[in-house]
Structure 1
């Protein structure tokens, strides 16, 4: 055998190896089996089969310690506290409820109304749905992404209520409360996560269809908020999933930073959308 022939497991041209994204100028010796990024000897963490990079190893440690859906529990606690406050003081509750006529000068109502509920059954059903879905997808998305998804879906639901004023101007004075818009955003997130992972989405589609139809036929339910939260949740989750895909030469930390910047841009886009709707309505 010629001395020029590479042995089994060796590169035919060692100089063709890419640089380690964590140590520019240092040649990689392997690829992470999880994120598929190149890694140098210093960044290589052996496992039972092949190896992972230091970033994935760090992420594994963080995941083991952040499985508790603290954001979900925090939202439930906030909703329960505000419901109890509302039973004692209706004036305090009125400071947070949303109606299109109020949201123009008091924009915080777009979000705070998602923490209010009209009855015991209203808060019970919404909190049960939040508990079931939040415990499933918060660990998958991560705490801050889940919080962004929930908050933007809540605002998206209120924005849809506002936009309906183009069709039915009388709703300009109509108040809406409830976490349903945000919860529909979470249902949408389940669909996106299942779809991208190749899982069967039939059950979640049936659940969405039944709840949407029920909102249309039952009086006193803001189907506009449901639809707005659903569409917002679809868009936000799709963006987060796309940004989380491994890319060679980009470290997980850098991807996390990009996701944070994009989340801020989505929030700005939502605010701009609401401002645009008000501009057209009041023109």
Structure 2
């Protein structure tokens, strides 16, 4: 009788781990932070090895996000500036096909008051009276728009632009002949001029260049006939004042202060419109 070596119990094969987010995918790679298995689609490069998406997101929560100079998100491409510029040029191109668009979109106090066409207070900034008009405003927006958009961020910049345009229209509502039609983005552009001056002062930069540019354009405003001084002055004052509120807002809860400032300017201008409209209506102009 021969002796046989004892039979060793068979060892179970080691189970292949699967990705915790995709259970149907086998993987031997584990997250360096939580040690859970992750597939190639879930791997995120880390200082050593890989991490899973949840650990990367958790780590990013502790990293302070970069901000623009005055609290907005960092702007790499000034999309708002290019969009406004493209919209102005597109509307001007339409004017060649349908010149009557000026009368439909331009600022006219009688149509605002008697026709309840309040949209004209903003749409007037997107139509222009001629080639020189559109070229100057486009050049100004192209030069200073990206600078301000990067300083304030996308949302604050569009608010600055539109509120400045509204400020120019509101002063026109009060001071212009109610029967006159005015068009152009000059109110908004002058608002941006004022904002550049304010930002320069806030950052202790040399503002003599923008001051001279503002002075020259104001001179042209009052010397050359047919230019709406109300749009220029209204936009300049509104833009400079709003830019000051945004640039000098306290760092603590800065966003709250800035949103309140923008809302406050809109409410103030709306009140001025509400007060003025009945006066135009009672005058009986048509």
Task: Tell me if both proteins adopt one fold, taking TM over 0.5 as the criterion.
Answer: yes
Distance change in 2, residues 1:242/1:65 (3 Å): closer
Return the match for 1:218 from 201, 224, 242. Answer: 224
Distance change in 2, residues 1:67/1:277 (3 Å): same
Alignment of 1:33-182 (within 5 A): 54-55=63-64, 57-59=65-67, 66-104=75-113, 105-165=116-176, 171-182=177-188
Could you tell me how far 1:235 is from its partner in structure 2? 1.0
Distance change in 2, residues 1:200/1:189 (3 Å): same
Partner Cα distance (2:161, 2:225) in 1: 25
Partner Cα distance (1:246, 1:180) in 2: 32
Distance change in 2, residues 1:271/1:128 (3 Å): same
- The equivalent of 1:231 in structure 2 is 237
Runs of 5+ consecutive residues of structure 2 not aligned to the other structure: 1-58
Distance change in 2, residues 1:65/1:140 (3 Å): closer
Q: Which has the higher strand share?
A: 1
Distance change in 2, residues 1:282/1:125 (3 Å): same
Quote the RMSD (CA, aligned, Å): 2.2
Matched pairs, number = 218
Distance change in 2, residues 1:206/1:65 (3 Å): closer
Distance change in 2, residues 1:92/1:255 (3 Å): same
Distance change in 2, residues 1:160/1:197 (3 Å): same
Q: Which runs of 4+ in 1 moved over 6 A?
A: none
- The equivalent of 2:198 in structure 1 is 192
Provide the secondary structure at the position in 1 that maps to 2:178. helix
Runs of 5+ consecutive residues of structure 1 not aligned to the other structure: 1-44, 46-52, 166-170, 248-253
Q: Deviations over 1:1-35 (max 9, x none)?
A: xxxxxxxxxxxxxxxxxxxxxxxxxxxxxxxxxxx
- The equivalent of 2:251 in structure 1 is 246
Q: Contact 1:191–1:205 at 8 Å: present in 2 too?
A: yes
Q: Deviations over 1:165-196 (max 9, x none)?
A: 4xxxxx11000111111000000000100111
Could you tell me how far 1:209 is from its partner in structure 2? 0.7
TM-score when normalising by structure 2: 0.71
Partner Cα distance (1:276, 1:227) in 2: 20
Could you tell me how far 1:64 is from its partner in structure 2? 8.7
Larger Rg: 2
Q: Which has the higher helix share?
A: 1
Could you tell me how far 1:257 is from its partner in structure 2? 3.8
Partner Cα distance (2:279, 2:248) in 1: 33
Partner Cα distance (1:111, 1:64) in 2: 26
Q: Contact 2:164–2:234 at 8 Å: present in 1 too?
A: yes
Distance change in 2, residues 1:144/1:201 (3 Å): same
